[in-house]
Amino acid sequence: MSYPHPIKITYDHLAFSDDSGHEDGRYNSLGLITFPFRYEASLCDELKTIFSSSGINGEFKWQNIRGAKYKFAAEKLHAFIFSHLDKIRVDVLIWDMKDSRHKDISGRDDDANIGRMYYQLVRNVLSKRWDNNSSWLWRPDKQSSMDWKTLGKCLVSKKYQLAADLFGINKTDFIKLQLKMIRVVESHKEIFVQVADYFAGLGAYSYGHFEKYKEWEMIQRGQSSLFEDKKVVKNWSNSEKVRFPLINCFDNECKSKILTVGLNSTKGLKTHDPSKPINFWLYTPQHMLDKAPRYSNENTEFI
């Protein structure tokens, strides 16, 4: 018996993603790393060398950034990203659980909400930040609570009007998007999923810890006299002692390369020009009806 030949799926760009959240539960985030497929082997080899030379044997994740070894590796990761801005994009979508979209929504479905945020981020980056002819393989982290099959259908759906009504977007964005496949992966096997996790964590942390970060920064500048209780502001946790310098160095490097990434003025990392290759996007409700989804017994076409 003869069998038909399997359909060969071709793509020329890759996307890697993971989600994160600040420990106090207020800020959640998604990280997305994208680049042309032809660079994958060389970029992965370089990253593996960076992590192994830093003594990182397991996964490199934001939650592990608590000691000197991981701080050293993170600094090298920053340098790696900044040296490859001609190839790589880093996009992070952050949302505030206390804004008008999320606060006081009874029966809020946070898993479905992550799906809508993924939809916003992936659709925006893949259709607007790269050449319109780019075709994509997306590798998200398996551990996310997402229903990837349903989300994939949403992203490539031809029902433009339904999508426009639900998300408030232009139907031409769907025409531009050429997502060929979603291949769910395990983060410990995909180094760029770990990078996505790191930057998602960095973004959420920059908002959730902003006030304490500012106290730390002022003390570094010799302005500790501005605070009445010096003992309190100097009592940093081990993770804060590592993460605050990383935020500071990352912010300074973004400014030196004119990437329009704000921090102090926005009370968290936020890119003013999203076309730049490093883009931190603080999501704001798009209109009065833009509310987080609620649990429902009815299934909808879009998550």
Task: Evaluate if residue 225 carries a pLDDT over 60.
Answer: no
Backbone angles phi, psi at 46, to 5 degrees: -65, -40
pLDDT, mean over the chain? 84
pLDDT band at 221 (very low <50, low <70, confident <90, very high): confident
What does the pLDDT average to over 208-232?
76
12-21, 93-102, 246-255, 268-277: which has the minimum mean pLDDT?
A: 93-102
CA dihedral 113, 116, 121, 127 (to 10 degrees): 180
238-256 helix and 191-208 helix, angle to the nearest 10 degrees: 100
Do 190 and 138 contact (CB within 8 A), yes or no? no
Coil/strand/helix, residue 122: helix
Backbone phi and psi for residue 91, each to the nearest 5 degrees, phi listed first: -120, 130
Residue 97 CA to residue 56 CA, distance in Å, equals 33
Q: Tell me the pLDDT tens digit for each residue of 200-219.
A: 999 999 999 999 999 999 98
Q: Do 281 and 272 meet the contact criterion of CB atoms below 8 Å apart?
A: no
Provide the whole-model pTM. 0.86
Amino acid of residue 157: S
* pLDDT score of 159: 46
**CATH code matching the domain that covers 13-282, chosen among 3.30.420.10, 3.30.930.10, 3.30.413.10, 3.60.20.10:** 3.30.420.10
Predicted pLDDT of residue 157: 60
Nearby residues of 147 by Cβ (< 8 Å), 6 or more positions away? 115, 303
* pLDDT tens, position by position, 160-204: 444 444 444 454 554 456 888 888 999 999 999 999 999 999 999
* pLDDT tier, 223 (very low <50, low <70, confident <90, very high otherwise): low
Who has greater pLDDT, 244 or 5? Answer: 244
In the chain, what's the furthest Cα-to-Cα distance? 83
Examine the pLDDT at 83 and tell me if it is beyond 90.
yes
Cβ neighbours, 10 Å, residue 157: 13
From CA 200, how far away is CA 242, in angstroms rounded?
17
Q: Residue 94 burial (CB < 10 Å; 0-12/13-18/19+)? A: buried
pLDDT digit string, tens, across residues 270-295: 999 999 999 999 988 777 777 777 87
Q: What is the 3-state secondary structure (H, E, C) of 134-170?
A: CCEEEEEECCCCCCHHHHHHHHHCCCHHHHHHHHCCC
Lowest mean pLDDT of 79-93, 140-154, 156-170, name the range. Answer: 156-170
Please determine, for residue 153, whether its predicted confidence score (pLDDT) is greater than 80: no
